[in-house]
A and B are shown apart, each in its own frame.
Chain A
Protein backbone atom coordinates (compact mmCIF):
# COMPACT_ATOMS: atom_id res chain seq x y z
CA UNK A 1 0.00 0.00 0.00
CA UNK A 2 2.81 2.36 0.90
CA UNK A 3 4.53 1.71 -2.40
CA UNK A 4 1.45 2.53 -4.44
CA UNK A 5 0.78 5.66 -2.35
CA UNK A 6 4.36 6.77 -3.00
CA UNK A 7 3.86 6.12 -6.71
CA UNK A 8 0.65 8.19 -6.67
CA UNK A 9 2.37 11.09 -4.92
CA UNK A 10 5.31 10.95 -7.34
CA UNK A 11 2.92 11.02 -10.28
CA UNK A 12 1.08 13.98 -8.75
CA UNK A 13 4.36 15.86 -8.58
CA UNK A 14 5.14 14.95 -12.20
CA UNK A 15 1.70 16.20 -13.17
CA UNK A 16 2.32 19.48 -11.37
CA UNK A 17 5.62 19.92 -13.21
CA UNK A 18 3.98 19.20 -16.58
CA UNK A 19 1.15 21.61 -15.81
CA UNK A 20 3.66 24.35 -15.03
CA UNK A 21 5.58 23.78 -18.28
CA UNK A 22 2.96 25.72 -20.21
CA UNK A 23 4.68 28.77 -18.76
CA UNK A 24 7.16 28.42 -21.65
CA UNK A 25 4.55 29.33 -24.24
CA UNK A 26 2.86 31.92 -22.01
CA UNK A 27 6.17 33.69 -21.56
CA UNK A 28 6.89 33.58 -25.29
CA UNK A 29 3.50 35.12 -25.99
CA UNK A 30 3.96 37.83 -23.37
CA UNK A 31 7.43 38.61 -24.70
CA UNK A 32 5.97 39.04 -28.16
CA UNK A 33 3.24 41.36 -26.84
CA UNK A 34 5.76 43.55 -25.00
CA UNK A 35 8.23 43.67 -27.91
CA UNK A 36 5.50 44.71 -30.34
CA UNK A 37 4.19 47.32 -27.89
CA UNK A 38 7.69 48.80 -27.41
CA UNK A 39 8.19 48.87 -31.17
CA UNK A 40 4.98 50.81 -31.71
CA UNK A 41 5.76 53.11 -28.76
CA UNK A 42 9.12 53.94 -30.35
CA UNK A 43 7.40 54.64 -33.64
CA UNK A 44 4.65 56.79 -32.11
CA UNK A 45 5.71 58.15 -28.71
CA UNK A 46 2.58 60.33 -28.51
CA UNK A 47 0.36 57.22 -28.43
CA UNK A 48 2.42 55.59 -25.67
CA UNK A 49 -0.27 55.90 -22.99
CA UNK A 50 -3.02 54.13 -24.89
CA UNK A 51 -0.58 51.47 -26.13
CA UNK A 52 0.53 50.84 -22.54
CA UNK A 53 -3.06 50.32 -21.40
CA UNK A 54 -3.78 47.90 -24.23
CA UNK A 55 -0.49 46.13 -23.53
CA UNK A 56 -1.36 45.46 -19.89
CA UNK A 57 -4.78 44.09 -20.79
CA UNK A 58 -3.20 41.90 -23.46
CA UNK A 59 -0.60 40.67 -21.00
CA UNK A 60 -3.32 39.74 -18.54
CA UNK A 61 -5.20 37.86 -21.26
CA UNK A 62 -2.07 35.97 -22.29
CA UNK A 63 -1.27 35.19 -18.69
CA UNK A 64 -4.57 33.33 -18.19
CA UNK A 65 -3.32 29.98 -19.50
CA UNK A 66 -0.21 30.22 -17.35
CA UNK A 67 -2.36 30.93 -14.30
CA UNK A 68 -4.57 27.92 -15.08
CA UNK A 69 -1.45 25.75 -15.22
CA UNK A 70 -0.30 27.16 -11.89
CA UNK A 71 -3.69 26.47 -10.30
CA UNK A 72 -3.67 22.88 -11.56
CA UNK A 73 -0.17 22.44 -10.16
CA UNK A 74 -1.27 23.85 -6.78
CA UNK A 75 -4.32 21.56 -6.73
CA UNK A 76 -2.10 18.59 -7.58
CA UNK A 77 0.32 19.38 -4.77
CA UNK A 78 -1.87 20.65 -1.94
CA UNK A 79 -5.46 19.61 -2.57
CA UNK A 80 -5.15 16.44 -4.61
CA UNK A 81 -8.52 14.63 -4.53
CA UNK A 82 -7.01 11.35 -5.79
CA UNK A 83 -4.86 10.86 -2.70
CA UNK A 84 -7.87 11.13 -0.37
CA UNK A 85 -9.88 8.69 -2.48
CA UNK A 86 -6.92 6.31 -2.48
CA UNK A 87 -6.44 6.49 1.30
CA UNK A 88 -10.17 5.97 1.89
CA UNK A 89 -10.32 2.94 -0.36
CA UNK A 90 -7.17 1.31 0.95
CA UNK A 91 -8.25 1.82 4.57
Chain B
Protein backbone atom coordinates (compact mmCIF):
# COMPACT_ATOMS: atom_id res chain seq x y z
CA UNK B 1 0.00 0.00 0.00
CA UNK B 2 2.71 2.42 1.04
CA UNK B 3 5.41 2.24 -1.60
CA UNK B 4 8.20 4.75 -1.11
CA UNK B 5 11.11 2.82 -2.56
CA UNK B 6 12.37 2.55 -6.12
CA UNK B 7 10.90 -0.51 -7.83
CA UNK B 8 12.99 -2.71 -10.03
CA UNK B 9 11.05 -3.28 -13.23
CA UNK B 10 13.21 -5.58 -15.35
CA UNK B 11 16.60 -7.19 -15.16
CA UNK B 12 18.49 -7.14 -18.45
CA UNK B 13 21.32 -9.62 -18.87
CA UNK B 14 24.03 -8.03 -20.95
CA UNK B 15 27.23 -10.08 -21.51
CA UNK B 16 26.88 -11.82 -18.16
CA UNK B 17 26.32 -8.64 -16.13
CA UNK B 18 22.92 -7.89 -14.73
CA UNK B 19 21.58 -4.43 -15.50
CA UNK B 20 18.64 -3.39 -13.37
CA UNK B 21 16.07 -1.23 -15.09
CA UNK B 22 14.54 0.72 -12.20
CA UNK B 23 11.57 3.02 -12.11
CA UNK B 24 13.94 5.99 -11.97
CA UNK B 25 15.52 4.96 -15.27
CA UNK B 26 12.16 4.44 -16.96
CA UNK B 27 10.91 7.84 -15.80
CA UNK B 28 14.19 9.44 -16.88
CA UNK B 29 13.67 8.01 -20.36
CA UNK B 30 10.09 9.29 -20.46
CA UNK B 31 11.26 12.79 -19.55
CA UNK B 32 14.11 12.59 -22.05
CA UNK B 33 11.60 11.57 -24.72
CA UNK B 34 9.35 14.53 -23.88
CA UNK B 35 12.29 16.95 -23.99
CA UNK B 36 13.61 15.50 -27.27
CA UNK B 37 10.17 15.72 -28.89
CA UNK B 38 9.86 19.34 -27.71
CA UNK B 39 13.31 20.13 -29.10
CA UNK B 40 12.50 18.51 -32.47
CA UNK B 41 9.22 20.46 -32.68
CA UNK B 42 11.09 23.71 -31.99
CA UNK B 43 13.72 22.77 -34.58
CA UNK B 44 11.10 22.10 -37.25
CA UNK B 45 9.24 25.29 -36.43
CA UNK B 46 12.51 27.24 -36.49
CA UNK B 47 12.37 27.38 -40.30
CA UNK B 48 9.13 29.31 -40.26
CA UNK B 49 10.26 31.80 -37.59
CA UNK B 50 9.88 35.42 -38.67
CA UNK B 51 11.30 38.81 -37.72
CA UNK B 52 8.16 39.72 -35.80
CA UNK B 53 7.36 36.79 -33.48
CA UNK B 54 3.86 35.43 -33.02
CA UNK B 55 2.34 32.66 -30.95
CA UNK B 56 4.65 29.69 -30.50
CA UNK B 57 7.75 31.67 -31.47
CA UNK B 58 6.99 34.21 -28.74
CA UNK B 59 6.93 31.52 -26.08
CA UNK B 60 10.18 29.88 -27.21
CA UNK B 61 12.01 33.18 -27.56
CA UNK B 62 10.88 34.47 -24.17
CA UNK B 63 12.03 31.28 -22.42
CA UNK B 64 15.44 31.43 -24.12
CA UNK B 65 15.80 35.15 -23.47
CA UNK B 66 14.89 34.89 -19.79
CA UNK B 67 17.43 32.12 -19.29
CA UNK B 68 20.09 33.94 -21.30
CA UNK B 69 19.65 37.05 -19.17
CA UNK B 70 19.81 34.95 -16.02
CA UNK B 71 23.07 33.31 -17.12
CA UNK B 72 24.54 36.62 -18.32
CA UNK B 73 23.75 38.34 -15.04
CA UNK B 74 25.28 35.58 -12.94
CA UNK B 75 28.19 34.33 -15.06
CA UNK B 76 29.17 37.39 -17.05
CA UNK B 77 30.28 37.71 -20.67
CA UNK B 78 33.41 35.58 -20.30
CA UNK B 79 31.63 32.32 -19.42
CA UNK B 80 28.59 32.88 -21.60
CA UNK B 81 29.23 29.73 -23.64
CA UNK B 82 28.30 27.56 -20.62
CA UNK B 83 24.69 28.75 -20.87
CA UNK B 84 23.35 25.88 -23.06
CA UNK B 85 24.63 23.23 -20.61
CA UNK B 86 22.87 24.91 -17.70
CA UNK B 87 19.72 25.28 -19.77
CA UNK B 88 19.77 21.53 -20.39
CA UNK B 89 20.21 20.80 -16.69
CA UNK B 90 17.51 23.32 -15.83
CA UNK B 91 15.02 21.84 -18.30
CA UNK B 92 15.65 18.27 -17.19
CA UNK B 93 15.43 18.97 -13.46
CA UNK B 94 12.36 21.16 -13.91
CA UNK B 95 10.54 18.51 -15.96
CA UNK B 96 11.46 15.73 -13.59
CA UNK B 97 10.34 17.73 -10.54
CA UNK B 98 7.06 18.54 -12.28
CA UNK B 99 6.51 14.92 -13.34
CA UNK B 100 5.15 14.22 -9.84
CA UNK B 101 1.98 16.00 -10.95
CA UNK B 102 1.40 13.33 -13.60
CA UNK B 103 1.78 10.50 -11.11
CA UNK B 104 5.33 9.53 -12.06
CA UNK B 105 7.92 9.01 -9.38
CA UNK B 106 10.24 11.99 -9.96
CA UNK B 107 13.71 10.80 -11.09
CA UNK B 108 15.20 13.52 -8.88
CA UNK B 109 13.80 11.66 -5.86
CA UNK B 110 16.64 9.20 -6.44
CA UNK B 111 20.04 10.26 -5.14
CA UNK B 112 21.74 8.77 -8.20
CA UNK B 113 20.18 11.32 -10.54
CA UNK B 114 20.88 14.39 -8.44
CA UNK B 115 24.40 13.24 -7.63
CA UNK B 116 25.14 12.84 -11.35
CA UNK B 117 24.21 16.48 -11.94
CA UNK B 118 26.09 17.68 -8.87
CA UNK B 119 29.15 15.70 -9.98
CA UNK B 120 28.94 17.32 -13.42
CA UNK B 121 28.88 20.73 -11.72
CA UNK B 122 31.86 19.72 -9.58
CA UNK B 123 33.89 18.67 -12.62
CA UNK B 124 32.89 21.89 -14.38
CA UNK B 125 34.08 23.94 -11.39
CA UNK B 126 37.50 22.24 -11.48
CA UNK B 127 37.86 22.60 -15.27
CA UNK B 128 36.84 26.27 -15.27
CA UNK B 129 39.07 27.02 -12.29
CA UNK B 130 42.15 25.40 -13.84
CA UNK B 131 41.46 26.87 -17.28
CA UNK B 132 41.06 30.50 -16.17
CA UNK B 133 43.35 30.71 -13.16
CA UNK B 134 45.91 27.95 -13.80
CA UNK B 135 48.24 27.51 -10.79
CA UNK B 136 46.52 30.25 -8.86
CA UNK B 137 43.44 28.01 -8.54
CA UNK B 138 45.41 25.04 -7.24
CA UNK B 139 47.25 27.33 -4.82
CA UNK B 140 43.85 28.21 -3.40
CA UNK B 141 43.69 24.79 -1.75
CA UNK B 142 46.72 25.68 0.36
CA UNK B 143 45.38 29.15 0.98
CA UNK B 144 46.32 30.58 4.38
CA UNK B 145 48.75 27.80 5.19
CA UNK B 146 49.53 24.31 3.78
CA UNK B 147 48.17 22.87 7.06
CA UNK B 148 44.71 23.86 5.91
CA UNK B 149 44.85 21.62 2.83
CA UNK B 150 42.69 18.79 4.29
CA UNK B 151 40.05 21.29 5.42
CA UNK B 152 39.98 23.01 2.02
CA UNK B 153 39.75 19.62 0.29
CA UNK B 154 36.81 18.57 2.48
CA UNK B 155 35.15 21.92 1.82
CA UNK B 156 35.54 21.37 -1.91
CA UNK B 157 34.28 17.78 -1.80
CA UNK B 158 31.29 18.81 0.34
CA UNK B 159 29.97 20.96 -2.50
CA UNK B 160 28.57 18.24 -4.81
CA UNK B 161 27.24 16.34 -1.78
CA UNK B 162 25.37 19.30 -0.32
CA UNK B 163 24.17 20.35 -3.78
CA UNK B 164 22.78 16.90 -4.57
CA UNK B 165 21.32 16.23 -1.12
CA UNK B 166 19.48 19.56 -1.13
CA UNK B 167 17.60 18.77 -4.33
CA UNK B 168 17.15 15.09 -3.46
CA UNK B 169 15.87 15.80 0.06
CA UNK B 170 13.36 18.39 -1.06
CA UNK B 171 11.91 16.29 -3.87
CA UNK B 172 11.90 13.13 -1.74
CA UNK B 173 10.13 14.94 1.10
CA UNK B 174 7.46 16.17 -1.31
CA UNK B 175 7.06 12.70 -2.80
CA UNK B 176 6.73 11.07 0.64
CA UNK B 177 4.12 13.63 1.68
CA UNK B 178 2.08 13.00 -1.47
CA UNK B 179 2.35 9.21 -1.11
CA UNK B 180 1.22 9.45 2.52
CA UNK B 181 -1.74 11.62 1.57
CA UNK B 182 -2.80 9.24 -1.18
CA UNK B 183 -2.37 6.01 0.75
CA UNK B 184 -3.33 6.84 4.32
CA UNK B 185 -6.27 9.24 4.06
CA UNK B 186 -9.85 8.19 3.31
CA UNK B 187 -11.08 8.58 -0.26
CA UNK B 188 -13.33 11.50 0.73
CA UNK B 189 -10.34 13.69 1.66
CA UNK B 190 -8.68 12.98 -1.67
CA UNK B 191 -11.24 14.89 -3.73
CA UNK B 192 -9.96 18.47 -3.59
CA UNK B 193 -7.10 18.64 -1.13
CA UNK B 194 -4.31 17.04 -3.23
CA UNK B 195 -4.58 19.85 -5.79
CA UNK B 196 -3.18 22.40 -3.35
CA UNK B 197 -0.57 19.99 -2.03
CA UNK B 198 0.54 19.20 -5.59
CA UNK B 199 0.72 22.92 -6.30
CA UNK B 200 2.98 23.44 -3.31
CA UNK B 201 5.14 20.30 -3.28
CA UNK B 202 5.52 19.74 -7.00
CA UNK B 203 5.03 23.07 -8.75
CA UNK B 204 6.32 25.65 -6.25
CA UNK B 205 8.94 23.61 -4.43
CA UNK B 206 10.06 21.85 -7.61
CA UNK B 207 10.52 25.05 -9.58
CA UNK B 208 12.22 26.79 -6.66
CA UNK B 209 14.65 23.93 -6.09
CA UNK B 210 15.47 23.82 -9.81
CA UNK B 211 16.20 27.55 -9.75
CA UNK B 212 18.34 27.19 -6.64
CA UNK B 213 20.30 24.24 -8.05
CA UNK B 214 21.14 26.19 -11.20
CA UNK B 215 21.80 29.41 -9.30
CA UNK B 216 24.22 27.74 -6.90
CA UNK B 217 25.96 25.86 -9.74
CA UNK B 218 26.37 29.13 -11.65
CA UNK B 219 27.70 30.89 -8.54
CA UNK B 220 30.22 28.11 -7.85
CA UNK B 221 31.44 28.14 -11.46
CA UNK B 222 31.65 31.92 -11.41
CA UNK B 223 33.55 31.81 -8.12
CA UNK B 224 36.07 29.33 -9.54
CA UNK B 225 36.77 31.51 -12.59
CA UNK B 226 37.91 34.63 -10.72
A contacts, CB < 8 Å to B: 53, 56-57, 60, 63-64, 67-68, 70-71, 74, 78
Contacts A56-B208, A78-B4, A78-B5 hold; do A71 and B169 have CB atoms under 8 A apart? Answer: yes
For residue B215, CB closer than 8 A to chain A, the reply is yes
Q: What chain A residues lie within 8 Å of B219 (beta carbons)?
A: 57
- Size class of the B contact interface (CB-based, 8 Å): 10 to 19
Contacts A63-B166, A64-B162, A71-B165 hold; do A56 and B173 have CB atoms under 8 A apart? Answer: no
**Smallest distance from the beta carbon of B217 to chain A beta carbons, Å?**
12
* Secondary structure dominating the interface of B: helix
Whether B5 lies near A57 (C-beta < 8 A) is no
Tell me, in angstroms, the Cα distance from A44 to B126 when the chains sit together.
Answer: 38
Residues of chain B in range 156-192 having any CB-CB distance to chain A below 8 Å: 162, 165-166, 168-170, 172-173, 176
Q: What chain B residues lie within 8 Å of A53 (beta carbons)?
A: 215
Whether B211 lies near A56 (C-beta < 8 A) is yes
For residue B42, CB closer than 8 A to chain A, the reply is no
Tell me, in angstroms, the Cα distance from A70 to B165 when the chains sit together.
Answer: 10
Q: List 16 A-B contacts (CB under 8 A).
A: A53-B215, A56-B208, A56-B212, A56-B215, A57-B215, A60-B166, A60-B209, A60-B212, A64-B165, A64-B166, A68-B165, A68-B169, A70-B169, A74-B172, A78-B4, A78-B5
Tell me, in angstroms, the Cα distance from A26 to B90 when the chains sit together.
Answer: 27
Q: What chain A residues lie within 8 Å of B5 (beta carbons)?
A: 78
Q: What chain A residues lie within 8 Å of B168 (beta carbons)?
A: 71
